[in-house]
Amino acid sequence: MKKNLSCPCGEHITAENEDELVVKTQAHLKENHPDHEYSRDEILFIAY
């Protein structure tokens, strides 16, 4: 399972599972990068 993601802005997002990672990443995007939206599949594609 992929549970980590590094945003190009330098933010590192870690979660217990993929569902949590998607939620946390989408929240980060909404707060810090409102002009960017990524789907679950796109987020998991760049996660590790």
pLDDT in tens, the chain (48 residues): 889 999 999 999 999 999 999 999 999 999 999 999 999 999 999 999
| pLDDT at site 1 | 85
Q: Domain of 42?
A: 4-46
Q: Is the dihedral of CA 46, 14, 21, 23 positive or negative?
A: negative
Tokens of residue 35, six digits? 């002009």
3-state secondary structure of 16: coil
Domain total of the chain: 1
